[in-house]
Amino acid sequence: MASPVGRQYGGARTRLLDELRLKGVRDLAVLRAFDLTPRHLFVPTGVQYRAYEDTPLPIGSAQTISQPSVHARYLELLAFTGSEKVLEVGTGSGYQTILLAHLAARVFSVERIAPLLDRAREVIRECGVSNVSLMFGDGTYGWKAFAPYDAILVSAASPDVPQPLVDQLADGGRMLVPVGGREEQRLVLITRNGVSLARKELDPVRFVPLLGDHGWTDQA
Residues with a catalytic annotation lie at 66
Beta bridge partners of 190: 175, 199
Contact between 2 and 128 under an 8 Å Cβ cutoff? The reply is yes
Q: How far apart are CA 14 and CA 199, in angstroms?
A: 35
Residues 79, 83, 87: CA angle, nearest 5 degrees? 75
Backbone angles phi, psi at 29, to 5 degrees: -65, -40
Cis preceding-peptide flag for 115 (omega within 30 of 0): no
Please give the span between the terminal C-alpha atoms of the chain, in angstroms, as a whole number: 39
Q: What's the Rg (C-alpha) of the chain?
A: 16
Sequence letter at residue 155: S
Q: Residues 87, 93, 99, 105: is their CA dihedral positive or negative?
A: positive
Pairing of strands 132-136, 106-111: parallel
Residue 9: DSSP 8-state: T
